[in-house]
Structure 1
Amino acid sequence: MKMAGLELLYSSVASQIVSANDAIVCYLHWCMIDNDFKCVGYGENVPTNETDVKKSELLPRDWNTSQDCYTLRYQPNSNHDNYLLKAIPIDGTLLVHLMRLKDEKVCNLSIDVNNYVNSQHLNNYESVFKNLDELHEKFETEIISDLRKQDSKTSKGSSTLIDERLPGNQQGYRPYANDPLRAGPPRRPHAERQPEWGEPNNPLDIGTGDLDPFHPGGTGMFMDPMRAGFPRGGIPDPSAGIPGRLPRGAVPPGARFDPFGPPGHGPDSAYRSGPDPDHLPPPGYDDMFG
């Protein structure tokens, strides 16, 4: 296959190449350029200011200073996503990792250096490489194709999420039928829901029901004399729940009074309705008195 530009690239750094690993890294750099990437520097530190980034087809200065780990940064021609290419030599094998920094997606490639480089001809482009077609296919399959597959999965996942939303793509709401995490019945969209608790007309009125048993809005007492067995609007019987009746004046008028027992069950009580035997049943309780 044609390797347009590889000879020019290799010749520009031939004097810097001191090992077979250098030759492979130079070739990997050309593969990135051939796939519409540009090199933006050496090392892992990514500039925070985009104006400091200069895209180039050339290898950066000091690209092979460390023979233990090669680290090059790239960006596509179409955007400013940062990619980190690392090549680590281990016992004649070069382990290559390409990672997209924004989501840490990684593609890997293992290269047996002696299969693709003649170490005796490092400074001669005509003789330094061998089996380049095979190496190029490995790079395209295990790096570029794998990267595109990951991009395709990400795009497909995003489109699936959009399709599951309401018409008009209302954010944050998914139909009940497509939500495996919802245990209860489907809820209406926020726009259709009514507030469960109304705002008081007078903020100073909050808590008045706990202080005034005859408050028109209802009281906070658990045993409410206006609701527990007494006809609404009637006068509570202060002797409810005890034998006989309390003497007149035993309970000051208007005082908060909680009955001594279940209201409406005294022997002389005129109120026989009493509380519901199923008062506050547990959730799901079968009403045996119904």
Structure 2
Amino acid sequence: MADALFGWDLTFKTVEKDVKRKSDVLIAFIHWNLTKRGFRSIGIGDERTITGNEAQSELLPTGWNDKDNYTMRYMFEEKLYILHGLNTDGNLIVNLMRSDDLAVSNIAVKIDDTVKEMMGAIDTLMPTYKDLMYNIKRDLIDSIISGPTATAETQTTRTDSTSRRPPEDFLREPGMPMHRQSDTRDLWGLPPLNVGRSDLDPFSPGGGGMLFNPFNPRGELENPGLGIPGGLPRGGIPPGARFDPVGPPGGPMPGRRQPPPDADHLPPPGSNDFMFM
């Protein structure tokens, strides 16, 4: 881990006399990690504009820990970044914001659990510094400087995937045409549009009803239900079931008008109907 800590001793020696509290050690450590990745300090404050003539340095700026909270500005790849450090309830919450698009990364560190001493070698200052270095690199630095690249790759992948022809899907195949030209007649080609219509129309001339004959959807084929009580289609009565015919025995012939319902009025004179005797 010696190479990974290269430059830390020099950085801390330059600010050791200015350290006032444990959070100062954390800010100095974060600053050193930033400079290792190419960030350069251009002073304190949170001003989001730059002139292009700012002096860039690897050192912490003058007055960096004069206040309870920390605000410093950095340049990285010609873009301005602002570092905020907030002391709250024993934690140091650090945000790194890129000024041009307001992208933000952050970490939170428990001060007393991380910093044990304010002077000495790194093992004395922060026994768990390795974990802290990893979190700073992953959550504070890499997450913000790698963000735009990851987004661009995602958009490129999405564009390529949408432009590529989707795989063949049998559900996308065109449906079978309603009218097919074939040697075998399709009894199911035409929908029974009038099924149930006569049940809703008291003045219906007859025919139709909820009992649909699948063998005669348009009256174009011979009715195999003729001769079955009530004129029902074959299979309309379950085997062995008791059946009360819905009309006179034999049923009406297709196309003929059915008698009105409940035709139990008095017969005309001379009739041979003895049903009322």
TM-score by length of 1: 0.51
1:113-262 matches, within 5 Å, as: 113-119=111-117, 122-125=118-121, 127-156=124-153, 159=156
What's the offset of the Cα at 1:39? Answer: 0.9
What's the offset of the Cα at 1:97? Answer: 0.6
Equivalent residue of 2:71, what SS?
A: strand
Match in the other structure for 1:73: 73
1:74–1:82 Cα contact (<8 Å) kept: yes
- C-alpha offsets along residues 205-256 of structure 1, whole Å, 9 cap, x if unaligned? xxxxxxxxxxxxxxxxxxxxxxxxxxxxxxxxxxxxxxxxxxxxxxxxxxxx
How far apart in 1 are the matches of 2:113 and 2:75? 29
Equivalent residue of 2:79, what SS?
A: coil
2:152 corresponds to which letter in structure 1? S
What's the offset of the Cα at 1:27? Answer: 0.3
Runs of 4+ in 1 over 6 A off after TM superposition: 160-164
TM-score by length of 2: 0.53
| Corresponding residue to 1:92 among 90, 93, 101 | 90
1:139–1:84 distance in 2 versus 1, CA, 3 Å: same
What's the offset of the Cα at 1:161? Answer: 9.5
What's the offset of the Cα at 1:152? Answer: 1.9
How far apart in 2 are the matches of 1:66 and 1:158? 43
1:156–1:27 distance in 2 versus 1, CA, 3 Å: same
Query: How many corresponding residue pairs?
Result: 161
1:80–1:158 distance in 2 versus 1, CA, 3 Å: farther
1:20–1:154 distance in 2 versus 1, CA, 3 Å: same
Equivalent residue of 1:50, what SS?
A: coil
What's the offset of the Cα at 1:142? Answer: 1.1
> How much identity, in percent, do the aligned residues show?
24
1:40–1:163 distance in 2 versus 1, CA, 3 Å: farther
1:72 corresponds to which letter in structure 2? M
How far apart in 1 are the matches of 2:82 and 2:99? 7
Equivalent residue of 1:152, what SS?
A: helix
- Bigger radius of gyration among the two: 2
1:147–1:93 distance in 2 versus 1, CA, 3 Å: same
Which consecutive unaligned segments of at least 5 residues does structure 1 have? 165-174, 178-290
1:40–1:75 Cα contact (<8 Å) kept: yes
How far apart in 2 are the matches of 1:158 and 1:41? 36
Match in the other structure for 1:57: 58
Match in the other structure for 1:16: 18
1:43–1:71 Cα contact (<8 Å) kept: yes
Equivalent residue of 1:49, what SS?
A: coil
How far apart in 2 are the matches of 1:157 and 1:133? 31
How far apart in 2 are the matches of 1:54 and 1:65? 21
How far apart in 2 are the matches of 1:81 and 1:63? 21
